[in-house]
Amino acid sequence: MPPNRVRQIQERVFTLLLANLLIAFLLPSFVTLYGGMRDTLIAFVLGMAVLSFWDRRYSLYLWRMVLYLAYLSWEIILSNIAIAWLVLQPKPKLDPGIVAIPLAVNTELEIMTLASSITLTPGTISVELGRGAKGRQVLYVHALVVGDPETLRASIKDSFERRIISIIS
């Protein structure tokens, strides 16, 4: 999908998400003068249903975003366990390094989401965004335990990047 088309879809989805959040927070306040968490959640689902009639793909995009956040949370938990295990060892086997990852994501939002996801995962941090030899954008990632750079590169591309691309596609 061309980057301009992806950007248009992203802008539309986030406009609808903003409208959905406004519905979720304002509707319970108008109905009961007090919006509890249950009322806000019901209003959010109601807003999602109404906005899905406006744009049928909205609920699909929203569902994919929720799945991505669940996956990211799971990866953060697993990385915390791995780092805790590494720290608790008497002689930790660190193999730090910086790996260049050529990006398939195109838009600024996708790149920011990927870089933030990598940085949120303990043991890795996004260092810089640059250009590779062929002019493609490259994200430089520092990891505490690199091992094989190709394996680290493939794991990031097959996990985070692939899921980010799947949200809009």
User: 0.75 cut: is pTM over it?
Assistant: yes
Convert 73-110 to b/e letters by CB count within 10 Å (16 or more is b): eebeeebeeebeeeeeeeeeeeeeeebebebebbbebb
> CA of 73: how far to CAs of 27, 68, 76, 117, in Å?
30, 9, 5, 10
pLDDT digits (tens, 9 = 90+) for 74-104: 999 999 999 999 989 988 888 899 999 999 9
Q: Where along the chain do its domains lie?
A: 3-56, 78-168
pLDDT digits (tens, 9 = 90+) for 29-83: 655 556 567 777 778 888 888 888 888 888 888 889 999 999 999 999 999 999 9
Give me the pLDDT at residue 29, please: 61
CATH, domain 78-168, list 2.60.40, 1.10.540, 3.30.70, 1.25.40:
3.30.70
